[in-house]
Amino acid sequence: MPNLMTYYIFRHGETFFTKNDVPYGDNYETAEIIPEAIPVIEKIGNYLNDKLENNNYTSPFKRSLQTVEIVEKITGKKFIPDVRLSEERVSHAKETLAQMEERLRSFLNDVKKGNPESVAICSHGWPIAAFISIITKDRVTKFDLSCYPKCGVLTVIEGTSLKTLDFN
């Protein structure tokens, strides 16, 4: 039986905007994590410490880069920025759901080519919800997007088995 790839997927650390449930507006790409996010991210890093290989990727947005910087210090494993992991642009009418799904599938297909045992991904709410649906059901609906994890939650997927770990 072939090894099942394990996905470790987590959202960037809490920001002012996620904490207060307000739109990012002009801070879409530059919003920073807040200090209270750091201990939560450290817990995720400690959990991942003996699990990560060299297949670790992040959104290039500032809040994700700040998040993985903390995880990198704990695990010693680097995360590679990939624009395909960026925040959704569906709600801004800059991409369709199908286009978002296409960019995420493109990313997953590229990752699978290396046949890794595991991959870690730091991204944003809707892309994470879409990843979970693509990996476990091979399809994404608009309804699936409403099921995104909050900051501080790690989703672990092996095959179609899914578990969530809340580090808040």
- pLDDT digit string (tens) for 112-129? 998 899 999 999 999 999
pLDDT at 1 over 50: no
Q: What is the dihedral of CA 55, 58, 78, 32, to 10 degrees?
A: -160
Instruction: Please give the pLDDT value at position 26.
Output: 84
The proportion of the chain whose per-residue pLDDT surpasses 70, expressed as a percent, equals 98
pLDDT-derived band at 43, boundaries 50, 70, 90:
very high
Which residues of 6-141 form beta strands (DSSP E)?
6-11, 56-58, 80-81, 118-123
Residue 57's beta-bridge partner residues?
80, 121
Instruction: Please give the pLDDT value at position 164.
Output: 97
Across the chain, mean pLDDT equals 93
pLDDT-derived band at 16, boundaries 50, 70, 90:
very high
6-166 classified as CATH 3.20.20.70: no
Higher-pLDDT residue of 87 and 45 is: 45
67 vs 136: CA distance, rounded Å: 25
Which has the closest alpha carbon to 57: 71, 44, 46, 41? 71
pLDDT at 28 over 90: no
Q: For the whole model, what pTM was predicted?
A: 0.94
Instruction: Please give the pLDDT value at position 3.
Output: 56
- pLDDT digit string (tens) for 143-159? 998 889 999 999 999 97
